[in-house]
């Protein structure tokens, strides 16, 4: 079993990193070479900006190469709850932003000719308990009637048309959702950004940010210092560097994934005949899909711990047990991959983007980032060019999390709370 992300192991290695010191004058310094930063670099380069992308590690080495491979529409938070909090029109605009995000990914794949197995098969949200289906059905009425008439409610008596398991009590299908090979996409995105003039520095952690006389940004890295007119932070849940403001507002949460050996056509038909992406309704639930080479990609929180080789293996064993319980017909199918990553979670699970003290940012995608990160990179490039209305997340308040100053000391308590909620509700 390999302890590396399936997506990165089955994609070509990035070979276009800039050599030599980090230095010079640029229009924009982008911090982070994942989906968000590379998408912004591409859009900025298409506008004629001189762009440098800086990453503490490798292209796609963070969440962009360590996720479940979903490109889903639909918000992480129930739309009815968003409507109660922000009003129906704002809730609708947030939901439609996720629709637009899937469209953005599809457009970039087409325009930049990225071979990443992008296709729309839809998503199904699976009710783990009868009362969960009742809640889904109640929310479906509002969603289908006012926002997305392409959604479909699937009652328990028809759930086996979607999922070959008795573990679920119905579901909700979102037809606009998609999936792709994440490693090939992030590599294609990096190549596209470079074709439009971006310079990408790997292994160049940002260690300091300051302002020069006249307002330019001085971006200090382990490999030198450059001057930039603008800076865009696409750092996700970074626990290092001069990003304390964001660390107080983002909780790094471990998410873990396993991948089976390639399945036969009969096995796939028995578990996922529609080959959609799938998520479950438990707080500590699962998400899964079929990979381009017919493996089952099965992920979940598993444990409220951060990723490390030992932690990944412990979580992998939990995930394997839940997979076999959900799909006993797979027998003793071999597990070929096990890996972990970090989700940049906000307190309300809504992403944030904007400007703080002259620093532009987009982050906090809360496990729904594959499409929104790409979209917000594009939108924030427009914002930096002067179009403030391009940011669909503008105006969202983002207070610091009380008592949170960096390392998430409270995560064991959060995990215990969510396990209790899953048991009670």
Phi, psi of 305 (to 5 degrees): -145, 160
- 377 assigned to some structural domain: yes
Q: What is the mean pLDDT of residues 247-256?
A: 91
> 179 and 122 in contact (C-beta within 8 Å)?
no
Please state the pTM of the whole predicted model: 0.94
Confidence of residue 265 (pLDDT cuts 50, 70, 90): very high
Parent domain of 335:
6-413
193 or 425: which leads in pLDDT: 193
pLDDT digits (tens, 9 = 90+) for 395-407: 999 999 998 887 7
Confidence of residue 409 (pLDDT cuts 50, 70, 90): low
Q: Residue 353 sits in a domain of what CATH number?
A: 3.50.50.60
- 118 assigned to some structural domain: yes
Alpha carbon distances (Å) from 33 to 40, 204, 207, 213: 10, 11, 16, 28
pLDDT digits (tens, 9 = 90+) for 34-87: 999 999 999 999 999 999 999 999 999 999 999 999 999 999 888 888 999 999
Q: Is the pLDDT of residue 286 over 60?
A: yes
Tell me what pLDDT residue 108 has: 98
Burial string for 287-323 (b: 16+ CB within 10 Å, else e) reads bbbbbeeebbbbbbbbbbbbbeeebbebbbebbbebb
- Name the domain count of the chain: 1
User: Which residue, 193, 155, 151, 200, is CA-closest to 175?
Assistant: 151
- 299 assigned to some structural domain: yes
Confidence of residue 31 (pLDDT cuts 50, 70, 90): very high
Q: Is the pLDDT of residue 422 over 70?
A: no
What span, in angstroms and rounded, lies between the C-alpha atoms of 58 and 388?
Answer: 31
Tell me what pLDDT residue 116 has: 98
Name the strand (E) or helix (H) holding 228. Answer: strand 224-233
236 or 116: which leads in pLDDT: 116
Q: Is the pLDDT of residue 413 over 60?
A: no
- 421 assigned to some structural domain: no
pLDDT digits (tens, 9 = 90+) for 300-318: 976 767 788 888 999 999 9
Half-sphere exposure at residue 416, Cβ-oriented, CA atoms within 13 angstroms: 4
- 319 assigned to some structural domain: yes
- 191 assigned to some structural domain: yes
pLDDT digits (tens, 9 = 90+) for 153-174: 999 999 999 999 999 999 999 9
User: Which residue, 311, 368, 364, 7, is CA-closest to 174?
Assistant: 368
Name the strand (E) or helix (H) holding 84. Answer: helix 79-86
Tell me what pLDDT residue 195 has: 98
- 135 assigned to some structural domain: yes
Q: Is the pLDDT of residue 336 over 80?
A: yes
> 367 and 32 in contact (C-beta within 8 Å)?
no
- 360 assigned to some structural domain: yes
């Amino acid at each position: 079993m390999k302890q590396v992300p399936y997506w990165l192991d089955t994609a070509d290695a990035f070979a276009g990193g800039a050599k030599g010191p980090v230095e010079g004058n640029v229009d924009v310094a982008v911090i982070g070479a994942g989906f968000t930063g590379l998408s912004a670099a591409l859009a900025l380069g298409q506008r004629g900006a001189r762009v440098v992308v800086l990453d503490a590690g490798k292209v796609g080495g963070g969440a962009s190469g360590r996720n479940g491979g979903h490109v889903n529409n639909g918000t992480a938070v129930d739309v009815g709850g968003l409507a109660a909090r922000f009003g129906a029109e704002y809730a609708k605009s947030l939901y439609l932003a996720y629709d637009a995000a899937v469209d953005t990914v599809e457009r970039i794949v087409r325009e930049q000719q990225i071979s990443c197995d992008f296709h729309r098969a839809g998503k199904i949200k699976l009710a783990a308990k009868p009362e969960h289906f009742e809640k889904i059905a109640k929310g479906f009425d509002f969603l289908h009637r006012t926002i997305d008439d392409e959604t479909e409610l699937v009652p328990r008596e028809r759930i086996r048309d979607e999922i070959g398991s008795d573990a679920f009590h119905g579901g909700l299908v979102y037809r606009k959702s998609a999936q792709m090979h994440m490693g090939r996409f992030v590599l294609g995105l990096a190549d596209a950004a470079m074709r439009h003039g971006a310079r990408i520095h790997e292994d160049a952690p940002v260690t300091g940010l300051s302002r020069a006389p006249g307002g330019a940004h001085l971006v200090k890295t382990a490999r030198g210092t450059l001057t930039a007119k603008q800076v865009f932070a696409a750092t996700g849940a970074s626990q290092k560097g001069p990003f304390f403001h964001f660390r107080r507002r983002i909780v790094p949460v471990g998410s873990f994934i396993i991948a089976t050996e390639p399945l036969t056509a009969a096995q796939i038909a028995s578990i996922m005949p529609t080959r959609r992406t799938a998520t479950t309704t438990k707080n500590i639930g699962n998400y899964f899909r079929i990979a381009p080479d017919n493996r089952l990609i099965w992920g979940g929180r598993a444990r409220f711990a951060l990723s490390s080789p030992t932690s990944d293996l412990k979580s992998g064993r939990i995930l394997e047990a839940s997979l076999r319980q959900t799909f006993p017909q797979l027998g003793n199918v071999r597990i070929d991959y096990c890996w972990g990553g970090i989700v940049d979670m906000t307190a309300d699970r809504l992403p944030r983007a904007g400007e703080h003290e002259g620093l532009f940012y987009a982050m906090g995608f809360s496990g729904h980032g594959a499409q929104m990160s790409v979209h917000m990179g594009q939108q924030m490039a427009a914002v930096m060019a002067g179009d403030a209305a391009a940011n669909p997340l503008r105006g969202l308040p983002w207070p610091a999390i009380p008592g949170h100053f960096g390392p998430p000391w409270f995560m064991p308590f959060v995990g215990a709370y969510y396990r209790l909620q899953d048991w009670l509700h």
